[in-house]
Amino acid sequence: MEERLRLRVVGQDEAIGAVSNAVRRSRAGIQDPNRPIGSFIFLGPTGVGKTELARALAEFLFDDENAMVRIDMSEYQERHTVSRLIGAPPGYVGYEEGGQLTETIRRRPYAVILFDEIEKAHPEVFNLLLQVLDDGRLTDGHGRTVDFKNTVLIMTSNIGSMHIQELLTERTKRPAAYWGSAEEENNKEMKDKVMADLKAFFKPEFINRVDEIVIFNPLSMQLLKQIVEIQVNRMKKYIMEKNIDITLTDAAKEHLAETGFDPVYGARPLKRAIQKEILNTLALSILDKTFKEGDVVGADFKNGKFVFKRAAKSNKEKVEVS
């Protein structure tokens, strides 16, 4: 299982191990059958794989990453909005619609539920989640019992992000050689501070009902190069739907890693870099028939710009991109 998840999420072995162990306990039948498969709080900087791990887990468990249900908890900051999760009671507006959480799981009981930015939710939300974590069920506005025993609950949070940002800022001030020897120690100090903030924010009864609290590691440039490989392979899959293949040189991948990395936003800018540097030019070249079905396109980065080479059976053509 870990190997499958690592194909999509890199540098987060602790998080992958935690969710894998929870799934194995459930499948082996050695955990409380009245609780969800697993429940987790994911902490860490932006763009390091928290949401991607949830998608990868949904794909592994249910053969469909669309089995991940994302709920933005910033929409539930006010007390009157909490009822939208389980549906309005009879006689109130929205009664017929059902709850965003309960109706979704009632229709799709096998799912990974991602509660994004859980710390923004109203305290009443935590009372609902305690019921799910304890009993594996909720009663919706229609009085129906909704079963959560076949779900995985993942809650992401920005709690402690100040300490993470301090570490990332410090990294930019020191040479790579320094972090090679001190990275583990500094990561541990950062994680201790984040955990202290978490325990100060959430009530003990809530934290104690969560299976695992995982702090995701900040990404290094070396890890980002692995993410480039993953994203390039994903890009190749949908380009090949046009019967066109593409290969990137090491120089091209190196440039994407450099332009697609941000100390604050992690790997988030990488997709935009691939779109800007590769896909935009490739789209133009496909539309103007420079590249056609059956072509193999080679992308290289030379003299500050991308160069695309069409490798056909009998000839080669270069198209320079400024």
pLDDT in tens, 179-217: 455 566 667 777 888 888 899 999 999 999 999 999 888
Render pLDDT for 18-43 as a digit per residue (tens, 0 to 9): 999 988 998 888 888 889 999 999 99
Distance CA 89, CA 87 (A): 7
| Nearest Cα to Cα of residue 153 among 183, 128, 189 | 128
Please give the order of strands across the beta sheet that includes 296-302.
245-248, 296-302, 305-311, 316-320
Q: Backbone phi, then psi, for 178, in 5-degree steps?
A: -65, -45
Residue 136 has pLDDT above 80, yes or no: yes
Least confident segment among 52-61, 66-75, 263-272: 263-272
Mean pLDDT of 238-263: 87
Predicted local distance difference test score (pLDDT) of residue 269:
84
Helices 176-201 and 161-173: angle between axes, nearest 10 degrees:
170
Render pLDDT for 61-112 as a digit per residue (tens, 0 to 9): 999 888 999 999 999 999 888 888 998 776 666 666 778 999 999 999 999 9
Q: Which residues face 306 on adjacent strands?
A: 301
Contact 215, 195 (CB under 8 A): yes
Render pLDDT for 109-129 as a digit per residue (tens, 0 to 9): 999 999 999 999 999 999 999
Distance CA 198, CA 91 (A): 39
Q: Percent of the chain scored above 70 by pLDDT? A: 86
Domain boundaries, the chain: 1-215, 221-310
Assigned architecture for domain 1-215: 3-Layer(aba) Sandwich (3.40)
Predicted local distance difference test score (pLDDT) of residue 57:
94
Cβ neighbours of residue 65 closer than 8 Å, sequence gap 6 or more: 55, 56, 58, 59
pTM of the model: 0.80
Predicted local distance difference test score (pLDDT) of residue 172:
59
| Nearest Cα to Cα of residue 240 among 178, 295, 313 | 295
CATH fold match for the domains 1-215 and 221-310? no
Q: Which two tokens stand for residue 311?
A: 């490798």
Render pLDDT for 218-227 as a digit per residue (tens, 0 to 9): 777 788 888 8
Secondary structure percentages of the chain, helix, strand, coil, to 5 = 50, 20, 30
Contact 41, 198 (CB under 8 A): yes
The dihedral built from the CA positions of residue 83, 86, 91 and 93, taken in this order, carries a sign that is positive
Mean pLDDT of 247-253: 91
Distance CA 40, CA 105 (A): 18
pLDDT band at 142 (very low <50, low <70, confident <90, very high): confident
Predicted local distance difference test score (pLDDT) of residue 315:
44
Q: Which two tokens stand for residue 254?
A: 């190196």
Contact 239, 282 (CB under 8 A): yes
Residue-by-residue DSSP string for 270-304: HHHHHIIIIIHHHHHHHHTTSS-TT-EEEEEEETT
Residue 316 has pLDDT above 50, yes or no: no
Q: Give the CATH fold of the 221-310 domain.
A: Helicase, Ruva Protein; domain 3 (1.10.8)
Beta-carbon count within 10 A of 314 CB: 4
In the three-class reduction of DSSP (H, G, I as helix; E, B as strand; rest coil), residue 248 is classed as strand
Distance CA 2, CA 8 (A): 10
Distance CA 134, CA 37 (A): 12
Residue 264 has pLDDT above 80, yes or no: no
Residue 309 has pLDDT above 60, yes or no: yes
